[in-house]
Structure 1
Amino acid sequence: MEELKLIGQGRTADIYEFQDDTIIKLYKQSFPHDAIVQEFEVSKFVYSLGINTPLPVKITQADSRTGIVYERIHGTSLLKLITTMPWLIDKHSKTLAKLHYDIHSHPDVSGELRDQKGCLIENINKAPLLDKDEKEKIIAYLQELPTKSKLCHGDFHPDNVLVGEQTIIIDWMTGMSGNPAGDVARTALLLSIGTMPEESPQMVKNMVTKLRNRIKSVYLKHYMRWSGLALSDIESWIIPVAAARLTEWLPDEEKEKLIKIIRERLSEGR
């Protein structure tokens, strides 16, 4: 891999400069191939809707790893803008809300993408740290929540937005058809307790910790104003979203916080 320049790292994949103004997202060798194919197909569909997202070019192999070649986008993550220019936090948080609202404003996408409730149920059933009774209660509760078929990102947060000549939304692996309130609940949860990738500079981690409540507050205020959703609509999805997140590659510290949120809310009947 010496001939390729590393330009980004994450928990599941590394990003390298590629050829002809493209990048290649190379996944860890243990990462499921089906999930890579899924990201490629979802990204193609989202791109076809006219959403500002990098064009997915092809799935390929490099250095014994599978990757997706994407059009290269030059820009700075919204997270980096927030942490380097905290005096503009309200502006950037409002941008986050507007982008998310615009995603949810697309027409019905049922039949095109995976179903939100189906994805959540699958992950809840696999969730470590929850017992069988807790899983059954959470799934029964989830089934009672309103079902919709809007385009949802599934992992929308400031590090998945690039700002350059245009504002670009990346990482559509978890794209699905569902209720926007559940998608917003996921974002609110990430803004509340989501841990930064290990490779993030400590200064950035410290800054995010200080700013996260303000980002969340402004983001939710504007999203609710544009969408007409009430905070209770969003809060009602926190339990299943938190339970499903337990299946992800997370530090033990975050898993403990998720378990605490789930069990407190279950005991309160919400």
Structure 2
Amino acid sequence: MCVAAAVATGCVWHAFLVTEISDFRRIDGGRCADIFEFDVGRVLKLYDHRFSAEWVGQAAERAQLIVDAGVCVPGIFGIESVGGRFGVVMERIDGETLWERVAQRPGDAAALGADLARLHVEINSIEVGESFVDALGLMAERIAQVSFVEADLVGRAISVIESRSGDRNLLHGDLHPGNVMVRPSGELVAIDWDFPRRGPASHDACRAFHLIGSWALAPGTNCDVIAVRRAMATSYIDVYGDAADLGIDDIVSWTLPHAIARFSEGIEEERSELYQQLAEYQL
């Protein structure tokens, strides 16, 4: 089924050249990639046709740098080509997402928010180099693509960006309860490192804070969803601020630039929340 072949990517990799994706069972997926069972204790994250072999190789190298830094993330085993698509073979994390854990134990929302904050501070405390995209440069480019926002708001957003340029912290970019696994031991593992960046920690914390406050629990969950979100988000930002020595105002100052930049990505289910955030600045 597989033929092993060595590939040179700057690290020691092995590519297992598979010809048929039907050899594997799909277990999950999102906007960028599908996840397949691959081998005992491993999965294949197979990106769609928009992502080249070069991009996937670079993504795997960045993922290995994050592993080597000691962050609680899945291990990396190699790269893979299947039917013209490219992907990364990585450790399978047994357990449930933090999203699922909160839905099952809504009374633990505040404690789990605190656990998430401590994991996030650990991630953001790591400094990274030029192989990681500059988050603020990318944010400024995306803000420039949004034409309907008032010039005054755009200017205020750019001022926030310019005040913090040069920071080199490791940023996840999309850390929320659905992108964190809880092992049976209780250890949290950050997953979905498709677009890690470098920039100020407060930038990443603000994004996570708003995601925690707006994500949807599973249909039929028997709890007050708004109360659970509030408890988890409040605990998260309080613990993150204390652990990272950041004021809450430092973190939420990124709300405006985040909201404008996210409009450029065209994610329809986020638009209502983004409009609400903009409206708060227009009052």
Same fold (TM over 0.5): yes
Does structure 1 residue 80 correspond to structure 2 residue 96? no
The answer on whether the counterparts of 2:174 and 2:208 sit within 8 Å (CA) in structure 1 is yes
Which structure is higher in strand share? 2
The count of residues paired between Structure 1 and Structure 2 equals 261
Q: Distance in 2 between matches of 1:246 and 1:156?
A: 18
Residue 212 of structure 1: aligned partner = 229
Which structure is higher in helix share? 1
The percent identity for this pair of structures is 28
What residue identity is the alignment partner of 1:46?
A: I
From 175, 196, 200, the equivalent of 1:175 is 196
Q: Distance in 1 between matches of 2:147 and 2:78?
A: 34
User: 1:1-270 maps to which residues of 2 (within 5 A)?
Assistant: 1-30=21-50, 36-106=56-126, 108-127=127-146, 130=149, 135=154, 138-145=157-164, 147-164=166-183, 165=185, 166-194=187-215, 196=216, 201-203=218-220, 211-248=228-265, 250-251=267-268, 253-265=269-281, 267=282
Alignment RMSD: 2.8
Shift of residue 87, structure 1, vs aligned partner: 1.8
What residue identity is the alignment partner of 1:76?
A: E
What residue identity is the alignment partner of 1:187?
A: A
What residue identity is the alignment partner of 2:233?
A: K
What residue identity is the alignment partner of 2:94?
A: H
Q: Secondary structure at the match of 1:203?
A: coil
**1:123-168 Cα shifts (integer Å, max 9, x gaps):** 2233475477764553344213464222221111111111114431
What residue identity is the alignment partner of 1:248?
A: E
Q: Distance in 2 between matches of 1:135 and 1:203?
A: 40
Q: Distance in 1 between matches of 2:145 and 2:221?
A: 32
Larger radius of gyration: 2
Residue 13 of structure 2: aligned partner = none
The answer on whether the counterparts of 1:151 and 1:178 sit within 8 Å (CA) in structure 2 is yes
Shift of residue 33, structure 1, vs aligned partner: 6.2
Q: Secondary structure at the match of 1:202?
A: coil
Q: Distance in 2 between matches of 1:170 and 1:223?
A: 19
Q: Which has the higher contact order (CA 8 A, sep 6+)?
A: 1
Shift of residue 181, structure 1, vs aligned partner: 0.8
Q: Distance in 2 between matches of 1:65 and 1:112?
A: 23
